Structure 1
């Protein structure tokens, strides 16, 4: 124990969709960690809340014919209720659109301005003439200026993965109406993130948590660190202090929600939120690996600049697969927390066990219904549940209660050995290792009762049978205490069968090796039920049907997308050109500046084929080119056409014999 107050948070669920297993990959381990620390006597506060701002919610609310606030409240309630059903219990679950967060965000931003860490700059902003509004973030899509791939307005999600600032995206298009956007100038505000490079590198050296979070952040900082635009042109969000036409960027006010939710809890409980954020408290963030950049770079720099304490640990979960396929809602590779799981009366504890025990927290987790069935049946039912039920049943039914015989010292040694494995594992966020150690104790108990066969001893040596059962009941007590963070509902049921009147959550882990006494056993009942083949078949069929429907939808979309009239195709001007010269574009690893002779003129084209061709190899080559595209500026260079290539390695389309430059493709 450190003696310091501990604050644990989870990345805020975005109120723009339903809860799925990908969310639970983060929230269940966080809840397990908090429960364990509390069983170990630590002072822990567990807060979270919903992330309510940003363009996707505005777009979704408009589509649903409601307001962003009402839309957010709907999904806020959905997440809160789903988490509670999964046994993920926060001390406070707030909303970033509530007054406390608006006030706290404006207070911190004002402090940043006063300290000279924020400056104004006029930048280019995409504007839709049809929708008649500026296009921040995901209202706009186009071409990444760094790698040339199709990208969202805030991130190159299909290419290099870089964060994109407002105005950076090339060939911008409105995502709502598909109109080609105009570029207009507007004043925005920037946080001087670039000045914190050395501070962040030093900070990350001592950051606790998972190594994937630390290494990822260090890699980004060493590569580049640009100033960060912290305003957006929207009506929905926290108003920027001093400029009512702008709101604070969602990735500023969302993490500030961690402070605001702490503040709301403290106000309700007569406590001081500053002891966590401005004192010697320890802050641990549990997040998904897709938001490491924000939590290990933006967030600590912002807190440090504003004079607040910084996080002590960032715990990032590994990626998720579903049935050996990359998690994808659009392709059907998803398991919805309610529709697919809770609503069909599957126990929350079964899924909690699967998520915590399948693999290391930082490694890729693969969910499959077959593996789920096997783990429940073999590990929970046959090993853990079998041992607990047999031990309590035999004591209550055959011996009339807890034997007076004290457990053997070797049993206490085995319990202490397990505790010594579980404690460092859970504290180091190695939940699988901790669960494995607990299940190792269950296997020990199962083998012990089987080997000593008290049902046989009872016929010849009742005292010996009582000794065996006393040993087993002590192991059951320890298992209930150790398992509460993993499977709180099942562990509590076992605790009640042992005869305890006080809640399991109020007991300390140190009681695992204190004798079981002063309680009266209750009637034993099986704690776990098998997932039979018929139930598995239904679960698998539901999943398969969703994937099939997603495939059919995609196929219909592709067919519709591919169908062109001859007149539409005729609008495209294709001709043969000859490459006259080619050279790399400074600062880009993928782009080449190419001059092409198309007969009537020479054209400059920017092409993302640098990884596959040396510039000198291209000179003199015949290529096929689209010549009637609107000019575009890519990486600061004007491009007037497109050279056609096929496949992931950009195989150039070329005539099979010599053709004059400018010859049309018919």
Structure 2
């Protein structure tokens, strides 16, 4: 009989919803899952890593309608976006599909039909929110109202502002349409339900032996013991997987989304000639990495559906803690968000730094606080000060004094330290304790620094070259082990480090066992490069500034006010004194034919003839409204041509959002009067 630890492992991640950009909160799930898969492979396990875009449901339809595009166009845009972000962040999926792929439509229909045939799905006439003004039934997020459980404001499928309870159609009190904002009413319609209540005993037994993190297991057990009600699995939408025999209904997104795991495994099998059934009809383990907000769906709905349709159930559910931004609750609407591309990658930060931060900040089940200052401290103290310092000083010394990996025996104590570290890191990773794994690996780097420092090779090289060679050989072996240990967390940087110790193999496919194979003496070394550089204070100030501006803009929007423009740096009085601003009186104004925004304005500023100014005011003032107004004009601005018309100054105006007003004097002043 085979050992369970020898079996292939299927690892999945909760599907990113294809209606918005990737943010740091997303990576809280995907980075640890990628680290887990890489570590399994380093330990010699076969691991298949799959994911894909969640493309159905009412939010997709709502967003597409607002943008004037089809749901398919919307999801394709964000599917490509997530694929690219994951690739840039070093997250390597073996398959990354969409829930709108044919494989998912086919597998969803297979499972739904199986449940129907076995009597687990039945029709029931229920009351559905209906908007008389829009003349449509209102599924899920097309309706909002009051949670019947806690009395807080809630959306149609979940009490997202209060108790977190899953809500069935018809449960919401005081329903209102989210499209027209008018009151909704309940009307009767036939829908289809899954007999979730039949699976109570099965779920209690399943959850009792479920692996993963206790936060997922205990939360789910609490819900099952409290109450299990049957689950409405159809919705009034055109976009989605059609319910069998009912073209006016689609299956609920939380039916077809997790089935995507199975469909994407099929896609992997087709591409690699693999066997998808060993996971979904066999006994190979299935591990789900998810966010803490979707435990209910993965630990209750999903295993019950799989059991009812005669498929294998997940063996472990790993639920992450949530994410805060600068010690504030994560909120896109309030500006407390860090976008992976524009706020991180596009700012020039290396992907591995964020991977390290998310893996090593705290226990996987606890809340992560993303702070630019803490990010700076962790990178500078740990990656630069400990790990990077050991690699660079050791390899630089070896390069300068030997030019190659020197001869010498490796101490048994060094090999034992490496073995103990690998065992502890592997055990921590298997237990989903990624911080513990990272800290343990970093402890080996500290050990290496202490070993290098205490043996003083800079002295030995002058007194006993052979003894010095042995010390450096030991350090190179520690470096090799560290590179293998950190590859799951820092795949890009460890690829560079692997080359620096003279290895010509693929570090990503190298196993932990390679750490016990001595680096060949005589291997030529090149001048090492610094792998990690300090994150300077001015970079952190820039990033804080970006976040603060976003928060200010969001707060202004929430209050109905336009955000103020960013204040400019202080200047000296002499700088201001260089500006020649004078009172002017507009003589004439006319539109410039080649532009929708520009006006050609003649202004009397006290000279013999009016001054010609091109002003971007056509969207705010009609030409005839401008004539006769007393304005402030910057008259010593160098002339410039705009749409072929020369502008000999600038008319000053105040701007806040779309509100623009000319600056005028509060009493009559002669044209040409100076502003001081």
After TM superposition, the score normalised by the length of structure 1 is 0.83
Find the aligned partners of 2:162 and 2:351 in 1 and give their Cα distance: 37
Q: Which runs of 4+ in 1 moved over 3 A?
A: none
Task: Work out whether 1:460 is the aligned partner of 2:456.
Answer: no
5 Å-filtered alignment, 1:490-639, equals 490-517=493-520, 519-556=523-560
Whether contact under 8 Å (2:403, 2:524) holds in the other structure is no
Task: Work out whether 1:440 is the aligned partner of 2:451.
Answer: no
Whether contact under 8 Å (1:7, 1:283) holds in the other structure is yes
Find the aligned partners of 2:271 and 2:415 in 1 and give their Cα distance: 42
Find the aligned partners of 1:54 and 1:421 in 2 and give their Cα distance: 43
Whether contact under 8 Å (1:122, 1:187) holds in the other structure is yes
Whether contact under 8 Å (1:237, 1:247) holds in the other structure is yes
Partner of 1:381: 384
Find the aligned partners of 1:33 and 1:489 in 2 and give their Cα distance: 16
1:557 Cα offset (Å): 6.4
1:265 Cα offset (Å): 1.2
Q: 3-state DSSP class of the match of 1:66?
A: coil
Partner of 2:18: 15
1:148 Cα offset (Å): 2.1
Whether contact under 8 Å (2:403, 2:526) holds in the other structure is no
Task: Work out whether 1:283 is the aligned partner of 2:271.
Answer: no
Find the aligned partners of 1:356 and 1:159 in 2 and give their Cα distance: 30
Partner of 1:477: 480
1:547 Cα offset (Å): 1.4
Larger radius of gyration: 2
Find the aligned partners of 1:177 and 1:456 in 2 and give their Cα distance: 80
Partner of 2:644: none
Partner of 2:227: 224
5 Å-filtered alignment, 1:396-415, equals 396-415=399-418
1:165-203 per-residue CA deviation (whole Å, 9 max, x = no partner) reads 111111111101111112211100000001111110111
1:539 Cα offset (Å): 1.1
1:437-469 per-residue CA deviation (whole Å, 9 max, x = no partner) reads 000000000111112121121111111111111
1:36-74 per-residue CA deviation (whole Å, 9 max, x = no partner) reads 000111011000000000000001001111100110000
Partner of 2:591: none
Find the aligned partners of 2:271 and 2:309 in 1 and give their Cα distance: 25
Find the aligned partners of 1:445 and 1:515 in 2 and give their Cα distance: 16
Partner of 1:293: 296
Task: Work out whether 1:361 is the aligned partner of 2:367.
Answer: no
Find the aligned partners of 1:557 and 1:50 in 2 and give their Cα distance: 36
Partner of 2:273: 270
1:520 Cα offset (Å): 2.9
Of residues 132, 135, 139 in structure 1, which corresponds to 2:135? Answer: 132
5 Å-filtered alignment, 1:41-440, equals 41-440=44-443
Q: 3-state DSSP class of the match of 1:468?
A: helix
Q: CA RMSD in A?
A: 1.3
Find the aligned partners of 1:558 and 1:91 in 2 and give their Cα distance: 46
Question: After alignment, is 90-99 or 447-456 more displaced?
Answer: 447-456
Partner of 1:583: none
- Structure 2 gaps, min length 5: 564-676
Whether contact under 8 Å (1:406, 1:515) holds in the other structure is no
After TM superposition, the score normalised by the length of structure 2 is 0.82
Whether contact under 8 Å (2:556, 2:562) holds in the other structure is no
Find the aligned partners of 1:514 and 1:250 in 2 and give their Cα distance: 50
Partner of 1:636: none
1:326 Cα offset (Å): 1.0
Q: 3-state DSSP class of the match of 1:337?
A: coil
Whether contact under 8 Å (2:213, 2:319) holds in the other structure is yes
